[in-house]
Amino acid sequence: MVAFAGYAMPVQYDFTGDLMSRCRGGVMAEHLHTRRAAGVFDVSHMGQATVTGADVACALERLVPGDLVGLPPGRQRYTLLTNEAGGIIDDMMVAKLDATRLFLVVNASRKDVDFTHIASNLPVGVSLQVQEDRALLAVQGPAAASVMGRLSPEAAALAVYGCCIGRAGRC
């Protein structure tokens, strides 16, 4: 475990017993398996928030160079959070859930700075709700859609950079 942005992050595990025989190869085996099939990563340390209100995309677009107004519902965009001079504060993901709700994911080490900057630059009627009590998992690799299909048909049907609110079942 290592300290990172106020969290104890697992970097490498010292497996013993049955787990050792199933997890041979450590970090490199995990990397290769993800590149070949799929891996699940706990990224709950990242900052998550919802921005809501009328003209929410227009309001947040004043803080990023990415086109959020033209982003259709059910899609997300990788963009940059900028300061008043156009300098980069952080990179982030913005998902348009619907016309009045955006979902943000920012880096753990910058989330307090990011959320303070966003909240202080939103117009009246648009608000930021930081969601500190949620988990966030990343399923990555060429078999990610197949893995997700066993848990959520909605998620399995998504295109790259697609997003949806769904329910994960049991596999």
Residues 125 and 51 in one domain: yes
Domain that holds residue 24: 1-36
Same structural domain, 115 and 55: yes
Q: What would the DSSP string read from start to end of 35-96?
A: HHS-EEEE-TTSEEEEEEETTHHHHHHTT-SS--TTPPTTEEEEEEEE-TTS-EEEEEEEEE
Contact between 77 and 162 (Cβ < 8 Å):
no
- pLDDT tens digits, residue range 66-116? 999 999 999 999 999 999 999 999 999 999 999 999 999 999 999 999 999
Q: pTM of the full predicted structure?
A: 0.85
- Classify residue 84: in a domain, yes or no: yes
Please tell me whether residues 53 and 31 are part of one structural domain.
no
Q: For residue range 116-142, what is the model confidence (pLDDT) as tens digits?
A: 999 999 999 999 999 998 888 888 999
**Residue 153: CB atoms within 10 Å:** 12
Cα gap 23→13, rounded to integer Å: 10
- Whole-number mean pLDDT of the chain? 88
